[in-house]
Structure 1
Amino acid sequence: MKDRRTFIKQAGLAGLAGFVPINPLLASDFKEDKSANNEVSDAKWPDGSRLVVSVSMQFEAGGQPVNAESPFPQNMQKGFIDLPGESWYQYGYKEGIPRMLDNWDKFGIKVTSHMVGSAVLKNPELAKEIVQRGHEAAAHGMDWATQYSMPYETEKKFIKDGADAIKKVTGFEPVGYNANWLRRGTNTLEILQELGFKYHIDDLSRDEPFLLKVKGNDFVVVPYTIRCNDIVLVEGKNFSADQFARQVIMEFDQLYIESEKKRRQMSISFHDRIGGTPQMVAATTQILSYIQKHKGVSFRRKDEIAQMAYQDKNIIRE
């Protein structure tokens, strides 16, 4: 059975039959010509991968507002600080990210770290270590402010300040962006294009990267996930670590099957104070061990995925 993308291509060509006669030779060519449906070229990535896995490591702890959301009841009296909540966030940079960094090295993979500017300024050595160990530093705003309601110039400064903090501390110039809870505004993409960013991830609409036109120029979307995301499943829905691992593995299995016929990208997201706990790193070890047993799977930073998208003649354009 043909996949949906091939069906649409062939149906579109077949629909022309009512206007343009197809002689027997052309009809035969259509059936046999692999370039007509591109099943093989559309499926494989430019680097030859069958399936690309993209891992995110959110570096947010230290940049949160006072009395930010945490596992504790949100019932603090006005004028007091939620001290145990503060310590929950501190775990992210004291234990969580260092533990995850060692695990990425164990498996030989590189990830994208979405960094909040104020968190980077509070823990500069950790931010530098992330980059020094070969991972991508992507921008994640200056702090946890709500940017979708900001005026154009205010939002532009907010994004730039966060990116500048990363570059100042790590020497790495961010080319990717992630808004707080993915909630970008109507001006965000134009601002990112203007500031020289190459991609954003605040989109859940596909399981593969695609191109948009922003101010007349190409701009890459590297889709993100809330399905394989620890803050949604573990913190938000109280999944256990083994439930999280099982769900991610099930997602991988399905995408791996689909990747035989079409371009597929899998995203997995971890947050410093959640994904860096011992049980979650153990779950991640199960996930990565399982994935790496499959042929044709590669792990790529999101800036690498964006670069492939710009160079890929088969990329989806919207």
Structure 2
Amino acid sequence: MAPQFLNNQDDFGSGPSRDYVGYGEHPPEFSWPGGASVAMNIVVNYEEGSEYSLPMGDGRNDMLGEVNRPLDPSIRDLAMESMYEYGSRVGVWREMGIFAEAGINCTFFACAVAIERNPEVGRRLIEEGHEICSHGYRWVEHYAMTRDEERESIRLAVESFEKTCGERPVGWYCRYGPSVHTRELVVEEGGFLYDGDSYNDELPYYVDVGGTSHLVVPYALDLNDVRFVMPQGYSSGEDFFSDGKAAVDRLRHEAERSGVARMLSVGTHPRLIGRPARADALARLIDYAQGTGDVWFARRDEIARFWLSEFPSG
């Protein structure tokens, strides 16, 4: 039987189609502001207090902490709760201290309820020039919601951030991936410049959402401190630093060879990277990247605005 050749997209009739090609061999040639060849975006996933827990009425405990163990969902996991509390009590302040010392700004993938529980974090991140990107009203799976539930969750998140931080987010990023409705609802809401609900590229790109051109600033999970608590992950801060240094070196080399600037996402969580030895690795990675003289430390909204200006859709 002769092979069946398909085009580059699959259309499943519900939600976005798949694109296997993207920029391919010919991404646009450009440099970031200041002539930088790499835009490094450090993300702080600030979720503490919005995660699944019995006190929140969820009937389950979250498990992404230092020790992941299945506990009877009818029993409060006080150890896990305290691991999350470390992030808001200690870790986030250590991270912000590192950023202030380095003179850089980052993006906070923040859950609205987490900021409600510790509003000083919201005030300080805005005062210090960081970006607040909505990570949802709570740290929950949007793909498990109905369309109406998801619309309401997005509305609640925006409204909450406006109250706690004095400004609304212009970026959106779900926990563990979006639903088939998320991008449509983000565009429908009307105030978002971009979403980060994709892992398929290393440069921003546009998608058509119901006739509207919408910008995606993709994220990545490889250089992410969650690997400190995963079986296949980092055994020490040195692993995190080494991975980050190699990524910076490779992207700078590719940019020099091709004339195409690159983007690097670094994912952190205060309850994980906020521990002293790991935080030291983050500080050393920032110092190394700054020492190249070729890396632009950028918020995701800055990357989005640059792309919208330099490469307008249509």
User: Which TM-score band (shorter chain)?
Assistant: 0.7 to 0.9
Question: Mapping of 1:1-318 within 5 angstroms?
Answer: 42-45=29-32, 48-66=35-53, 67-69=61-63, 70-181=65-176, 183-195=177-189, 196-231=191-226, 233-236=227-230, 237-239=232-234, 240-260=236-256, 261=258, 262-313=260-311
Letter in 2 for 1:247: D
Q: How far is the alpha carbon of 1:46 from its aligned partner? A: 5.5
Contact 1:115 1:166 in 2 (8 A): no
Q: How far is the alpha carbon of 1:72 from its aligned partner? A: 3.0
Point out where structure 2 has 5 or more consecutive residues left out of the alignment: 1-21, 54-60
Point out where structure 1 has 5 or more consecutive residues left out of the alignment: 10-38
Identity score, percent: 27
**Over aligned residue pairs, what C-alpha RMSD do you find?**
2.1
Cα distance in 2 for residues equivalent to 1:301 and 1:48: 17
Letter in 2 for 1:59: Y
Contact 2:109 2:135 in 1 (8 A): yes
- The structure with the larger Rg is 1
CA distance change for structure 1 residues 80 and 216 in 2, over 3 Å: closer, same or farther? same
CA distance change for structure 1 residues 217 and 7 in 2, over 3 Å: closer, same or farther? closer
Cα distance in 2 for residues equivalent to 1:80 and 1:7: 50
Q: How many residues align?
A: 280
- Deviation sequence 1:159-200 (CA, Å, 0-9, x none): 12122211110112101011002x101111111011121111
Aligned to 1:173, the other structure's residue is in SS state: coil
Cα distance in 2 for residues equivalent to 1:144 and 1:137: 15
CA distance change for structure 1 residues 188 and 78 in 2, over 3 Å: closer, same or farther? closer
Cα distance in 2 for residues equivalent to 1:87 and 1:6: 44
TM-score normalised by length of structure 2: 0.84
Cα distance in 2 for residues equivalent to 1:169 and 1:73: 32
Match of 2:7 in 1: none
Cα distance in 1 for residues equivalent to 2:23 and 2:81: 52
Cα distance in 2 for residues equivalent to 1:73 and 1:58: 18
Q: How far is the alpha carbon of 1:144 from its aligned partner? A: 2.3
Higher-helix-fraction structure = 1
CA distance change for structure 1 residues 133 and 8 in 2, over 3 Å: closer, same or farther? closer
Letter in 1 for 2:296: S
CA distance change for structure 1 residues 8 and 96 in 2, over 3 Å: closer, same or farther? closer
Cα distance in 1 for residues equivalent to 2:49 and 2:39: 31
TM-score normalised by length of structure 1: 0.83
- Deviation sequence 1:59-112 (CA, Å, 0-9, x none): 101111112103335332343211111110000000000000010011110000
Contact 1:244 1:283 in 2 (8 A): yes
